[in-house]
Every structure is written in C-alpha cells, then in structure tokens.
Chains A and B, each alone.
Chain A
C-alpha cells in the first residue's frame, strides 16, 4: 500500500522510506524546533519529517509527545524557533494567510461553534479563504460546499443545528467545513478522540475515501496506535517531541516501538494483517 508511483519528475521534496521506495512529500519539516511563547521548553525537535503526498500519514505517540504541537507547527499556527516547514518546496511563511488556508486545511481537536449554526452554514465558512472581504457566494462556493457535505456524509443534516448533533455527526460536520476549503493537504488533530467506536470508524472511513477519491494528502493525529496501524499508509511515531520512527506501518509498528514509545508490552502480529495486542503497562522507571 505504501508503494507510490514516483516515476514522474518534479521538484518536490523526495525521500526514500525504509523499503528504499522514493516518496514525494507534500509537507516537509526541516530541523524544526517548536516551543510555546509562555515557556522556554522546546516541545518538538525533529531533524526532518515528511508527509508524503497523496497518502494518509498518521502521527502517533503518547500524551505529551508533541503531536498536536507538531501539527500547529506544520500549519504555521506556531512560529518555529528554528528550522522551517515547506509545502511543496515552499516555506509556509511565504504563503499569505488566505493562500495557505487554500492549500492546507486544519481541523483542531476540539471545536466550538454557536449551537444554532446549521451544518450547511458551517460548511460555507470553509469558503472563507476563497472569498474576498466584500465577495458574495459564487457558484464555485456552492459546488464546493455540496461536494463537501456529500463526501462527509452529512447532506441529510444540512439544515440541522450543530448544537443538536451527536458527537460523531458534529465531527463530520466540521470535516465538511474543512473539505469545503478544498485544500490539497489536510491536517486533522485527533478527529476520533471523543467518539464512540462506530463514529471513530465512520470518521476514519470518510477520511480514507476522501483520500482515495481526491488524492488529498492527509496527516492525522491518532492516539490509538492499533487504529493508526490499520488505517494509515505511513506512520510517524513521536517520543518526547522527537521523531522515533517513520515509514509504512508494517515497518514502524514493532513490539520494541510499543515498549519504547508507548510504554506498553504488546504482541504485534503481521499475518494475516497487522495487529497490535497490548498486554500491560510497563513500569514507569524502565528507562
């Protein structure tokens, strides 16, 4: 699944994964160091990080490993202390705010909206970066919103108020908003965390279908490594703000990784398909 056709030439950043398959990267972080203005502590420090184009990449790691911070850095919500983030070879800094929002969509972990806004109106907000200050809705906006509602599977809810929806429906409504942005890259911060199992699958399947239909590049933070292993083309494992490993799930997910990164003893089965069976927590002082 990870093998991508890398035959056509382009000036995109390239890297080879663990199987020596060349991969084109939509987003590249180079020597990236991130911290929050309120403290001096460096939260994320990665030498190089790639989000391969047209694939689904999952960022995994335990709580506090810097996944969300990394996502903020990639989306230019947090200015790096050092290094830079490139989108198709161009620094994200060189994009204007709206131009970046047309190229790269971000969905935060928790979203609040006025409860009375309808799903359709929410999706129309996704058109914000495509509209000028005084511009009204165009046909292109309408088509984009229709496509987004359809892909997110919330067409039937278009006139429902967001405040009345269940958690899963709400998340899909927000996904519809990001889809209406029509970006080539999507960064999703733990879109499944507060959902029940059914809705977790629904959201992930939506993202998967979207990736297959539109070739959109997806980077998604997931805290369930087993889920990430089944769902993503590539995994990026973070530990203490540093890149622990990167590559297709079959290569990345090992018993060693689960012990080192997540602090659990687990069995990993590769046949017939990749499966992670966590056993127990390792003692905290194992290091």
Chain B
C-alpha cells in the first residue's frame, strides 16, 4: 500500500513537472506503430514468396508466440521446436532481423543523444570519440591480416577452438572501446573538456581510418574486401537470433542507464562550471555517461557494423518534436531509433530486391537530404 501511494505520487510529480506529457506519449506510440508496420512489411516479402496474409498469420501464429520452447530456442539458441515452413521463415529468418534493427536503432539514437550532451556539440555522433574507427580497424585487421585463423586453446579436457571471423563482433566492440579509452587518455590533462575530447576523437579517427584504408591494399581477395566494406558501411544482412541474443542485454542495460542519467545530462548541458557548482562530479559523470554511450554504440557495431549518420540525425529529429529536455529526448530516441532503422532496413532489403544493399548506405543516402531539409526548415536547428 505504501508503495502504491508513492507510485501515485511519483507519476503525479512527473506530470506536475511537465515532462511526461501527452505529446511524448503520442510520439512514442506513433513510433511504435511505424516500427510494427515496417516490421510487418519486412517479414511479408522476400525470396520465399508468400501472401501478406500468410506472412502475418505466421507472425501471430499462436503455436510460436505462446510456445515457450520456441522462445527458448530464440533466446538461448536451443533446438527449434517443430513449426510449419512459413512460420519458420518468418520467425527464424525475417523477424529477428527486424528485432536487430530495432535494438541497433535504439542504441545508436541513445548513444548519439548522450554524446551530443557530453561533448556539448550538436554535431556529435556515437562515433565522435573514436569507436567507429577503432572497430573498423580491428575488423580489417581480423579479415586481412588474420583471415580465418583458427585458434585452439588446449584445456584440461579437450581443446577449445574458435575462428577469428566468428569473433568479429566482439573484436569490433573491443577495438572500439580501446579507441575510446585512447581518446580519453589523449584528452586528459588534469581533467577533460568537451572541446579536447572532440579534438582527440578527430585525431584518433583520422589515424585509425588511414590505417584502415591502408589495410585495404593488402586484401587480395574480393570477398574479404566486400565483407570488410559491409562492416564499415553497416549492414543487417544475414542477422538472426544470434545477433539478438548478443545485443539485447548490453543494449537494454545501456538504454536503462541512459534514461536514469537523463537528469545528469540536462545538468551537463548547463555547462561545466554550473554543473560543478551544483555539486556534480563532472569528470566522473562525463566518463560514466560516455561509457554508457560507448556500450550502446559498440553493441550496435558488433551486430550491424558501422551504420553512419543515424546516431547523429535521430536525436535532432526527436529534439525538433520533443524539445531538448533529455528526460524526454532519451525516451523519444528509444522509440524513434527503432522506427527509423527498421524503415531504413526495409529499404535496404527490398528496394533493389533481390540485391540487398547495406542499411548504412540507405541511412546515408536518405538521411542526408532529410537532414538538410530539416536544417533549412528549422530556424533553430542544432540548438541543443
């Protein structure tokens, strides 16, 4: 009873303070509707032809939706239970890709929003502190220098063997994290500042990208180059439940932390000195929030590669609708990110069917002009 009382008070307070408003709820519902609709389109078309009705019936097939064994298989990779062919294709091939897109979209949008506040720079993207170039370089190193090296680690019972290519997502995330720490190290001089962080990011990005380009010259196989390019432009082709399993936990953690840290982000936007005089440990908060954003960004990179432009644009789109209060902005990003990336991936997969293009190409080609349109239309575009 006590808790019910306090809950009621909390929601009342939130409304009193005017951030949990009707337009935020409406925005989130609209984004969810777009996500669901685009997802349904995505599962309805493909190489295996079925009618829209058949596809949707497969999506809502109660034998799968309410089947614990099926969910166990999706979530933990156990044996799939018996299901009809259409359900199998929808549930095992097409739908997980939608989920991956949603997770990646939310992660990138939230990550971009955090970095825009941490660096107090409206042009910041999830990749501003070096994650993308660090991840890209590791991917190229893995593909070009150690292609498909099988590492065997002898254990007490048998040997543990793995292939470097199968570790690509984790290596990419690791490379991204190392680059981020490097950037922080370069920027640190008795403390950091937004400008120094951005500059250090530019430096590390430049060096790593040059190394990356250099490595392309050592790739002697077109296949290697293509798969490296797919990584660097960002692609959801071939993603499945394995990627959902890989990404869902870190993405959820990062998003929850971002929502919880929204007020800290608001205070950071008031400037370093004000934040400090309000009793915030600015360096610590900044590093931890950057860490959250890096977690989100490297999760996205690990499953989808480096999807450009997305994490920069989505927070701006949300800001135009919902304003710059981060309590609203972060929640808006959690809903708008999935909607926009699922839509973009529909384009990437179906526009030039049967050829699939990397979704990063779509976000760049469509997102760029759209951003330009917003910029021309909005007087105060870019204001944090």
Binding site for B on A (CB under 8 A): 37, 75, 77, 96-102, 105-108, 111-117, 121-122, 124-126, 128-129, 133-134, 136-138, 142, 163, 181
Q: Is the CB of A108 within 8 A of B277?
A: yes
Q: Which residue of B lies closest to A95 (CB)?
A: B279
Bitwise, B48-89 to A at CB < 8 A (1) or not (0) is 000000000000000000000000000000000000000000
Which listed residue (B189, B269, B270, B277) contacts A77, Cβ 8 A? B277
B190 CB-CB contact with A under 8 Å:
yes
Stretch touching chain A among B10-18, B178-186, B223-231, B236-244: B10-18
Q: Is the CB of A111 within 8 A of B324?
A: no
Q: Is the CB of A129 within 8 A of B324?
A: no
Least Cβ–Cβ distance between A204 and chain B, in angstroms: 21
Q: Is the CB of A125 within 8 A of B266?
A: yes
- Given A121-B325, A125-B266, A98:B273 Cβ within 8 A: no
- Given A100-B279, A125-B266, A137-B17, A116:B323 Cβ within 8 A: yes
B residues less than 8 Å from A75 (CB atoms): 277
Q: Is the CB of A124 within 8 A of B17?
A: yes
A75 to B277, CA, bound (A): 8
Q: Is the CB of A115 within 8 A of B380?
A: yes
B147 CB-CB contact with A under 8 Å:
no
Bitwise, B185-202 to A at CB < 8 A (1) or not (0) is 000011000000000000
Find the residue from A100, A105, A112 having the highest chain B CB count within 10 A.
Answer: A112
Known: A101-B277, A108-B271, A133-B260. 12 other contacts (CB 8 A): A96-B279, A97-B280, A99-B279, A101-B278, A105-B277, A114-B324, A115-B380, A116-B325, A121-B325, A125-B278, A129-B279, A138-B13
A108 to B279, CA, bound (A): 14
B353 CB-CB contact with A under 8 Å:
no
B residues less than 8 Å from A126 (CB atoms): 278
Q: Is the CB of A128 within 8 A of B271?
A: no
- Given A117-B325, A137-B13, A111:B274 Cβ within 8 A: yes
> B237-294: which have CB < 8 Å to A?
260, 263, 266-267, 269-271, 273-274, 276-281
- Given A124-B17, A125-B266, A137-B13, A97:B281 Cβ within 8 A: yes
A113 to B383, CA, bound (A): 10
A residues less than 8 Å from B41 (CB atoms): none
Q: Is the CB of A136 within 8 A of B277?
A: no
